[in-house]
Structure 1
Amino acid sequence: KVVDSLRYVELVEYGNYENRDYYTTTKYKIADGKNGPVNWVELPYDKYYWYIVHPKLNAEGVWVQDDINDQQQRTWGYSWREYIWSNPDPQHNYTSVNLSANGITVDYIPRFGAMMQNPDVLWNRNKNYYLFGRPLQVYEHALDLLGNWGSCAIPADPIANQPRAIHPNQVLYYHRGRCGEDSYLMTAACRTALIPAICSGTSREDHVWDQFWDKDWNHFEFFRGGLAYSGWGWTNLMDMGGYEELSPDYWVLSFVHGYRPDGFIFNHTKYYTKTCELKLKLVDNNNLPLDGIQTKIFARPGHNNDPNDNGILYAGQAFSNSNGDVSILAGDRKVYYLQFYHPKTGTLPAEGQVYRFTSESVLTTYDRIYDGGTVKIPVNIQKLQATSEHAPASGQYGFHLKWKATEIVTGINDLDFQKSKFYFWNDSVGSVSFFLCDEDNFNKFKNNLPFDAYEVYNYTDSGDVNIALPTGDKWYVVLSNTQSYNNYQNIDAKCELLEDVQTSILINGDPVLLVEDKNVDKIKFNVYPNPFTEHCNLELPENIERVEIYNYIGEKVDSINYPFIWKPNKDLLNGLYLFKAISEDKVLVTQGILIR
């Protein structure tokens, strides 16, 4: 019904339902510059389902029926898609506006579904301002027309002390709002017209807008309503929204978020301002990495460095990954503060309090990394209580297992009225434990008891192992998410049984043991003393070229050569370290424990 009426978009379908590879997306007529050549550009299918098909926009609820007592989210029994396109309710006819100010009157707007049948291109990639006050019959492309219609649909500011509408239906019927109402309506109108769009904005600087997808996210908003003074209102398609051009006297942004409909918040700061990086690592009481901890950032000063707008206010958030790492791109020319939250720990330091992260006397500068080091959260995560030994070097039977872990970050969006729980697939990181054990020890593992196992490796994102089985009847090859605090792991794995097996192990792409059977008893690789405090000595074969040292999550922390005495830096944490000795023909691995 909708797509057949629109001239700038067509559906594209792939696969077939019987093979379970069917999916749909859209393609758009896009001009290359004003009056330039027009080409069809296809939308990635994931963007189609997330930012066109999905029934939720941002903070509004998705209701089964209208709540007549709600003062902000009235739907009058219609989805925003149906209400905006068809204007189906005579009792809530949005085409009648009848508002005046500043010598300007907006009497009427056309039905959206009828109007949007006219433009024949989505846009022309001309990143510019399009002033209001033009007839709706005068436009360059669909986004130009849509923005101008929006300025007439919400021409006036809200009435003081009256509830601010959140649901697009109520926004459109009331015809009043500021940037928040504008953003809700424009996102819904774009998706109704099959244009992929999201709500976006900045909390600390108190402004919101929209972005639409064409090869990447592009700025889109109408700024102020159609009853504003002449020359003040426009549809804004400028690169970076034009906000950097207004700095330093006006817009100095801290953190820009883009909202996925399920509640996940993207960091879109890089689209709007020069950035610095805020980073830190979160660990538990035993220095084990903590995943899934919500890290909120607060910032000052405000958007134009007004001395009267110097409060420490919420700016954005991120969640720690499976290595405990938090990395946040944030705008320059700010002072930043942090707060941590998880349901099991509550808010740290406390509600209404924050930790200072950057200097209060010097504002941040772009392209700089501000590293907060390691932060200990007062919890104890569950860990494998495993005692490990090496598997046989060879055997009659064994197995080949190859795996790749992908982390699924999960959390609650507390800015959402429905407190949506999101699941974000983080393709850049993953973490599982691997081991082999017999049935008796497998049952101990399931009951969180100490157990014995072969080849225990924690915090692996991938592995490719051939392992000879010891004697016995039943063995369990385990990939475990036990040491994850909050997030999930998706495992892509393939396992096959083998005969005449030589044990070889690759963990995170690196060989762990490559030693010929006949040489095993002759090779010594020892750490002494072990545990150690200030330094340790390594006993090695003569032909070793260097030794690399890794922490418990696989990060390389040092590399040493002969005489192979390691003096760890003072900023390294107590705990288990992996020593990898490397020569031309083999790699040897052993462990040592630092206690200071």
Structure 2
Amino acid sequence: MKHSLVLIVTFILIGSLYAAPRGTTQSEYPTTGSVYDQAPVYHPALRIPPASTPTLFNREEWMMADSLTIKSILPANSQIGVKYRSLDQGIEAFSSLGTFSPEMIAAVHKAPRWMQAELTNVLLQLSPDRQILWVNTINNAVDPYIDEIAFSIANSSATYLQSPLSTPQLFIENAEFIYAIDEDLAYVSVVNHGTSTSDPNYYSTTSYRKYNSNGELVNVEVPRDIYYWYIVHPKLTDEIPAYIDPAIVENNSNHANNITAPQIGQFWRSYLYSVQEGEYPVLSDTLTTVQTLFNHNGNTSDAIHALQWWINNTMAFTSNNERPHQPVRIYSKHFGRCGEYADYTSAIARLALIPCTSILSMSGDHTWNEFWDEAWIHWEPVNGYINDPLVYENGWGKVFGSVFEIRSDGFLTSVTDRYSEGLATILVHVADSTGVAIDGARVILAYQETGFIVDMIDFTDNAGNVTFLVGENHSYYARVETPLGIYPPVAGTYSALCANAVDGGEYAYQLTVPCAMPVATVTDLGLPADETQDWRIGVSFSAPVYYINGRVSWDDLSAQGTIPRFYKLVNEPSTINMLITDEDNYLFYQTMLLCEANLYLPNTDHGFVNFNVPAQQNWYAFLDNSTRLANSPLIESMMLYEHYGVGVDDQLLPITTATLHQNYPNPFNPSTAIRFDIPRATEASLRIYNLRGQQVRKLFAGSVESGMHTINWDGTDDAGQAVSGGMYLYRLQSENMDTIRKMVLLK
């Protein structure tokens, strides 16, 4: 009996020593758990369009005194709007988001307009010292690198930008090397569509050459977003973008111990292009003779095949206990499994200006790549696979659950339909205990073999829905996590969904979290009486799209104590709340979601209101996203502050003081109107200055009559040349007045 026991223990130890190592290098989710219940079938209700109101300003007999243009992502539990000050009858912007410093405004408007909302959103989440660090990085950048630097900042997590592990030098080097390597490569060129001073929506991309299936040499331009996400972004999958000491063994727990200062470490984009070790080939020598990116006529003398050769001649397929995520360290080891190969391949392709991403199946414990050539093409260099996506199912015998692509910011997109011939759809609806949809809920999909295998993770949209594309012949289970609670209520358990999903099957289930979504309690008092028709605030607003805001599933920064989050654009309108309150009720609403409002438009995706302002107290007109749990609408709003231009006997109101008004529109492109009031005839001048105090344009200097005056500025200097986008000062000087105001020119 004693000998038998020893023999059994020996076999167990040997089995554990020779167990096959994992292929992927992402951290594992627990495989323990149990089934808590069967999820009920969900029957989608008819969706009722949100309430809306007319959107036209009636401006007859009203004169614009000030304005505020808003285009901003509005996170959950946030407000943004305009405050009326009774003391001086002026208005000012206010926000619960953070401080809009002049430097930050200048940086945002230096970036292309199409990424400004995302850039503003991430900068507002940073501490003042980190915000100014990244703001200065953009403000000090020059063309053609501005858009690449700004995009990488805008689409990095606030957690990373706040961390001391992030450095502006890496972002600058990342952008500069794209243009440096462009000079070496014959098969691809960087193309700039406009500049920061010539086009507010400027962008860059690449154009590459290839032979099509007819043997014709053609040029293809990469779509804008693919260029920025899959060539420019300095992050690949779960690694921390940083300078790495290639000689230091990478810690499997935090993957951060080999991060060093820029002066000591190496960044993969520039390092891997020219590094030379022993007899290993040099990548720059391999690429500089290539003339095409990927040929479809059987000619394999292209960049994809050259990279595949180089990867396999600098790597071997095996592993030891160290499983690095950093491409610099992977190269130094010269071996790895599919996890290392996938990260390595993405880095090599992107530095070669080829769009590339990583594809994962956590349930299948395998990862590989795709590159872009007018479509995403399957690629696994270690096995020589190019455009053979069903090889795993039909050649290896894999039966995938979910297969997904991991974007640089950690967002996961299902691509199961490309890698499985049998496909089912599972919709999971998440609601609170009263049936209200929960947005931004984290839904974990699993299937069961020897234990529960986490198969895919996604987050609910504004309707509380998430849809999974899954392979057939598996039984699927789910659990949901929210800041308000979880379901099933026992940690580590799952609700059963479908058993043995069939090809073409469509399944829908509801998970109900025992909690209550935030609810605003607002008493609508109606617009207050205003005995004097003098000032009013007009607000036109819309929320044309929104962002799903979720926590990143695999990111090495999580080991530092804070989990990064991503923002995924959804091209559907979102509902928001619009309120007008006095100061006390605004504070009540902020703290308790309880107030009396003089106007309340709940759950609407657009609207318009005019509010005649009683002058005895401060007033707040604001847009609110406090009844969402996580998701964030994009707010587009114009707020006008107007003065009634005609009195009771149709006489113009007398001008008693010299006044310089806010320009309109502001921000502006290409021109704006500057209005000023003069009480009596005098000598006056109106000039434009840059932030260095240098005169840009003299708009007027000379005698001026009493009354209201408007002068347009077309965004040119005294020489007639268009000026660059950014913040400018305009100054009115007269006998008894010297006033300066700010304005922003968009480019």
Aligning the two structures, in what range does the TM-score lie when normalised by the shorter sequence?
0.5 to 0.7
The partner residue of 2:364 within 192, 201, 205 is: 205
Q: Whole-Å Cα distance in 2 between the matches of residues 449 and 350 of structure 1?
A: 31
Whether contact under 8 Å (1:405, 1:432) holds in the other structure is no
Whether contact under 8 Å (2:244, 2:329) holds in the other structure is no
Q: Whole-Å Cα distance in 1 between the matches of residues 487 and 336 of structure 2?
A: 33
Aligned AA (1:143): I
Name the residue aligned to 1:576: none
Say which is worse superposed, 330-339 or 464-473, in terms of deviation.
464-473
C-alpha deviation, 1:355, in angstroms: 1.5
Whether contact under 8 Å (2:250, 2:323) holds in the other structure is no
Aligned AA (1:338): A
The partner residue of 2:427 within 262, 273, 279 is: 279
Classify the secondary structure of the residue corresponding to 1:2.
helix
Q: Tell me if 1:298 matches 2:446.
A: yes
Cα 1:487/1:449, change in 2 over 3 Å? closer
C-alpha deviation, 1:366, in angstroms: 3.3
Q: Whole-Å Cα distance in 2 between the matches of residues 401 and 123 of structure 1?
A: 50
How does the TM-score come out when normalised to structure 2?
0.54
Structure 2 stretches lacking a partner, 5+ long: 1-179, 559-563, 645-747
Aligned AA (1:28): Y
The partner residue of 2:294 within 103, 123, 134 is: 123
Aligned AA (2:630): N
Classify the secondary structure of the residue corresponding to 2:226.
helix
Q: Whole-Å Cα distance in 2 between the matches of residues 317 and 400 of structure 1?
A: 39
C-alpha deviation, 1:390, in angstroms: 6.7
Whether contact under 8 Å (1:155, 1:176) holds in the other structure is yes
C-alpha deviation, 1:69, in angstroms: 5.4
Name the residue aligned to 2:398: 251
C-alpha deviation, 1:242, in angstroms: 3.6
Classify the secondary structure of the residue corresponding to 1:414.
coil
Q: Higher relative CO (CA 8 A, sep ≥ 6), structure 1 or 2?
A: 2
C-alpha deviation, 1:87, in angstroms: 0.6
Classify the secondary structure of the residue corresponding to 1:354.
strand
Render the CA deviation track for 1:538-571: whole Å, top value 9, x for unaligned: xxxxxxxxxxxxxxxxxxxxxxxxxxxxxxxxxx
Name the residue aligned to 1:113: 284
C-alpha deviation, 1:47, in angstroms: 2.0
Whether contact under 8 Å (2:543, 2:633) holds in the other structure is no
Say which is worse superposed, 441-450 or 183-192, in terms of deviation.
441-450
C-alpha deviation, 1:245, in angstroms: 4.2
Aligned AA (1:250): G
Cα 1:287/1:453, change in 2 over 3 Å? farther
Cα 1:197/1:343, change in 2 over 3 Å? same
Q: Whole-Å Cα distance in 2 between the matches of residues 215 and 387 of structure 1?
A: 55
Q: Whole-Å Cα distance in 2 between the matches of residues 442 and 41 of structure 1?
A: 54
Name the residue aligned to 1:464: 607
Q: Tell me if 1:433 matches 2:572.
A: no
C-alpha deviation, 1:113, in angstroms: 1.4
Query: What are the equivalent positions in structure 2 for 1:390-469 lying under 5 Å apart?
Result: 399=538, 401-419=540-558, 420-448=564-592, 450-453=594-597, 456-460=600-604, 462-466=605-609
Name the residue aligned to 1:145: 306
Classify the secondary structure of the residue corresponding to 2:359.
strand
Q: Tell me if 1:333 matches 2:513.
A: no
Q: Tell me if 1:18 matches 2:162.
A: no
Cα 1:281/1:163, change in 2 over 3 Å? same
Classify the secondary structure of the residue corresponding to 1:493.
strand
Name the residue aligned to 1:37: 216
Q: Whole-Å Cα distance in 1 between the matches of residues 332 and 612 of structure 2?
A: 71
Render the CA deviation track for 1:435-481: whole Å, top value 9, x for unaligned: 34445533432332532335644333x22335576978665433210
Name the residue aligned to 2:495: 355
Q: Tell me if 1:81 matches 2:269.
A: yes
Name the residue aligned to 2:682: none
Render the CA deviation track for 1:477-526: whole Å, top value 9, x for unaligned: 332100111232220123446899xxxxxxxxxxxxxxxxxxxxxxxxxx
Whether contact under 8 Å (1:339, 1:349) holds in the other structure is no
Name the residue aligned to 1:564: none
Render the CA deviation track for 1:4-32: whole Å, top value 9, x for unaligned: 11111001012222355443211111221
Cα 1:463/1:245, change in 2 over 3 Å? same
Whether contact under 8 Å (1:398, 1:499) holds in the other structure is no
Higher-strand-fraction structure: 1
Render the CA deviation track for 1:373-423: whole Å, top value 9, x for unaligned: 3x222333332111247769xx98774523124322223223222233222
Classify the secondary structure of the residue corresponding to 2:292.
coil
Q: Tell me if 1:70 matches 2:218.
A: no
Cα 1:358/1:498, change in 2 over 3 Å? farther
Cα 1:111/1:266, change in 2 over 3 Å? same
Whether contact under 8 Å (2:311, 2:381) holds in the other structure is yes
Q: Tell me if 1:156 matches 2:306.
A: no
Name the residue aligned to 1:512: none
C-alpha deviation, 1:152, in angstroms: 2.4
Cα 1:156/1:70, change in 2 over 3 Å? closer
Whether contact under 8 Å (1:391, 1:454) holds in the other structure is yes
Whether contact under 8 Å (1:148, 1:235) holds in the other structure is no
Q: Whole-Å Cα distance in 1 between the matches of residues 467 and 601 of structure 2?
A: 26
Classify the secondary structure of the residue corresponding to 2:324.
coil
Aligned AA (2:439): D
Query: What are the equivalent positions in structure 2 for 1:497-512 lying under 5 Å apart?
Result: none
Q: Whole-Å Cα distance in 1 between the matches of residues 593 and 477 of structure 2?
A: 40
Aligned AA (1:371): A
Name the residue aligned to 2:348: 189
Work out the number of aligned pairs and report it: 445
Q: Whole-Å Cα distance in 1 between the matches of residues 433 and 350 of structure 2?
A: 47
Cα 1:141/1:287, change in 2 over 3 Å? same
Cα 1:449/1:479, change in 2 over 3 Å? closer
Whether contact under 8 Å (2:543, 2:576) holds in the other structure is no
Cα 1:344/1:179, change in 2 over 3 Å? same
Higher-helix-fraction structure: 2
Whether contact under 8 Å (1:257, 1:267) holds in the other structure is yes
Q: Whole-Å Cα distance in 1 between the matches of residues 249 and 391 of structure 2?
A: 40
Say which is worse superposed, 258-267 or 430-439, in terms of deviation.
430-439
Whether contact under 8 Å (1:204, 1:255) holds in the other structure is yes
Q: Whole-Å Cα distance in 1 between the matches of residues 466 and 643 of structure 2?
A: 44
Q: Whole-Å Cα distance in 1 between the matches of residues 304 and 635 of structure 2?
A: 42
Name the residue aligned to 1:551: none
Q: Percent of aligned positions with the same letter in both sequences?
A: 25
Name the residue aligned to 1:321: 461
Cα 1:182/1:383, change in 2 over 3 Å? same
Q: Tell me if 1:235 matches 2:375.
A: no
Q: Whole-Å Cα distance in 2 between the matches of residues 177 and 144 of structure 1?
A: 20
Structure 1 stretches lacking a partner, 5+ long: 97-108, 129-137, 224-232, 301-308, 501-596
Render the CA deviation track for 1:262-281: whole Å, top value 9, x for unaligned: 22222222332343222132
